[in-house]
Structure 1
Amino acid sequence: MELRVLNYFLTVAREKTISRAAKVLHLSQPTLSKQLKELEETLGVKLFIRGSRFITLTDDGIYLVKKGKEILSLVESTTANLLNDNSISGQIAIGAGETRAFEFIGQLLRDLRLKHPDIHFQLYSGNSDDVLEKIDYGLLDFGLVIDPVEKQKYDYLQLPLVDHWGILVSASHPLAKNKYITPADIQGTPLLVSNQSLVDNQLSEWLGASADYLNIVGTYNLLYNASLLVKENMVSALCIDGIINTAGTNLIFIPCSPSLIVTVNIIWKKKSNLFKCLQSIFAINS
């Protein structure tokens, strides 16, 4: 599959019609249709269904759109970095889970840009599982994730920062006046928890038992939408402090007792040449 033809397909998927995509690509409609037909034959799948007005992507077409965007993004960033003579110039793709530590990274990146204005950043937000997957596929240069993480798979730097777990509740919740939250306090409370695969281990250690006895009614990927349900006093959310700004809202964050603290790491693929770049970033404020 040629990158040129992949770009044709993504343009058609975006524009919804072959005629409009042909204009964008400066191709004739028959030429574009022929290229798409050959792409389907090469892959052995049907990518879209032509309707009276718009095309509809098949399941295979939806999959190719997702992966095709990732492929072209990787090609673009790789090309930009290879064409630049400066080892810390070009494009840096950064992924981050939900942690206040990104403010620290933001300060360093600001200083880096002042020193090397040719650097560009591509930011991706997701939970740790999402970030790790994109690092594995080479779509991110490095990621910012909280512990635990499978460090035997990655190189990493542990930041001099920690995050604190607690519970996010509505001001009208019975627990809202608590200064701290204990495992006994949340028994029976309808809870949302992060769907990150390794969070269960953290909760089990804090609870002193499996989290199965908690009243977990759902999970969240990123906290913002979950916080909207908390505002309605439908549920409470086990989460990290500072991700949601509670000032001026009816939301209250209550820290865990005993404290549930996690460290924060910058991680990247083993045997990559990123360490030199990270050394340059961290040397700015040293």
Structure 2
Amino acid sequence: MELRVLRYFLEAAREGNITHAAERLHISQPTLSKQLKELEGELGKKLFIRGNYNVRLTDEGMLLRKRAEDILEMVDKTEEEFKALGEITGGDIRIGCAESEGIRHLAQRIKAVQAQYPRIRVHLYSGDRSDLAERLEQGLLDFAVLVESNDLSKYNYLPLPGADTWGIILRKDHPLAEREAFAPEDLLDVPLICPRQGLQKELSDWFQEKVDRLNIVATCNLAYNGGVLTQEGLGCLLSFDKLTDTSPDSPLCFRPLMPTLRSKLFFVWKKYAVFSPAAEVLLNEMKDHCSAKEMQGPARMF
């Protein structure tokens, strides 16, 4: 299976049209069709359902698309790293990030690195814990920012300063908006929108035996989308503070959980990882930053 043919396959899958894909690839339509037929023969599976004008993926085709995207992303990343070896004038760094106000520390260090090396580019990938951990394990990410409930034993890591506060995002005209905080029993009859990653550890521990009595109407892995559902009256969002607009002009407000629940973030990388020069520069910058914050004593909570 050639990488070139995988790129052809992905282009056809994205376009949904062989002719358009061939034009984008700057090859003839018969050549592209022949390559795709040979790929199907090599794998022994039909990858496309062909119509008069368009094509769509079979189940086997969708599986290959996911694998091909991962393979080619790894190939491109490896080529970039080798091009950057021996010089730090530029390079690409890929970082997976959980949603958090604490990402501000990472952004500040990226800015400092780019001030010294303007050609270094950073690519952020937002996702939930399992997604980020999987991509880090596969080598698709150089670093990840993970919430503390992850098993960190298989990583090297730096604790980021501060912590995020959990609470409820709800409409200001909601009957419960007058509350100053929410205890577990206050939420048992409330339609809740929960983050998928939060249900695994922190929130389950906080709710304890009451977790099975929650009325969860939706889950999401991005706070922005959860905020939109909340604005439309679908339910109340369990979330970190400062991820959703709760300013005076917003229809939403934030109320903390009681007892207080906070989560720390960690900047992590695989043990024994070999970094490109650009990634090494950022890692050293993060180490210096976190060490300086630790020397200053307890960091302020966001």
Scaled to the shorter chain, the TM-score interval is: over 0.9
RMSD of aligned alpha carbons: 1.9
State, as a whole percentage, how many aligned pairs show the same letter: 40
CA distance in 2, matches of 1:206, 1:49: 49
**Pairing 1:66-77 to 2, within 5 Å after superposition:** 66-77=66-77
Residues 256, 282 of structure 1: alpha-carbon distance in 2 compared, 3 angstrom cutoff? same
Q: Which amino acid aligns with 1:15?
A: E
Greater mean deviation of Cα atoms: 126-135 or 209-218: 209-218
CA distance in 2, matches of 1:88, 1:59: 44
Deviation at 1:191?
A: 0.8
Task: Say which SS state the counterpart of residue 199 (structure 1) adopts.
Answer: coil
In structure 2, the residue matched to 1:280 is 284
Contact 2:110/2:282 (8 A) holds in 1: no
Residues 90, 13 of structure 1: alpha-carbon distance in 2 compared, 3 angstrom cutoff? same
Name the count of aligned residue pairs: 285
Q: What TM-score comes out, normalization by structure 2 length?
A: 0.88
Superposed CA deviations along residues 119-141 of structure 1, whole A, max 9, x for unmatched, are 11111111122111111211111
In structure 2, the residue matched to 1:44 is 44
CA distance in 1, matches of 2:13, 2:220: 29
Contact 1:171/1:251 (8 A) holds in 2: yes
Contact 2:109/2:282 (8 A) holds in 1: no
Deviation at 1:107?
A: 1.1
In structure 1, the residue matched to 2:300 is none
Deviation at 1:184?
A: 2.1
Q: Which runs of 5+ in 2 are unaligned?
A: 293-302
Residues 14, 232 of structure 1: alpha-carbon distance in 2 compared, 3 angstrom cutoff? closer
Task: Say which SS state the counterpart of residue 164 (structure 1) adopts.
Answer: strand
Deviation at 1:283?
A: 5.7
Q: Which amino acid aligns with 1:144?
A: V
Q: What TM-score comes out, normalization by structure 1 length?
A: 0.92
Residues 29, 50 of structure 1: alpha-carbon distance in 2 compared, 3 angstrom cutoff? same
Superposed CA deviations along residues 207-253 of structure 1, whole A, max 9, x for unmatched, are 34341122222211212222122112331111111111211211011
Deviation at 1:12?
A: 1.5
Task: Please list every run of at least 4 consecutive aligned residues from structure 1 whose deviation after the TM superposition is greater than 6 angstroms.
Answer: none
In structure 2, the residue matched to 1:259 is 260
Contact 1:166/1:253 (8 A) holds in 2: yes
Q: Which amino acid aligns with 2:271?
A: K
Contact 2:160/2:266 (8 A) holds in 1: yes
Superposed CA deviations along residues 158-204 of structure 1, whole A, max 9, x for unmatched, are 111201101111111122122211112212111111112x6343123
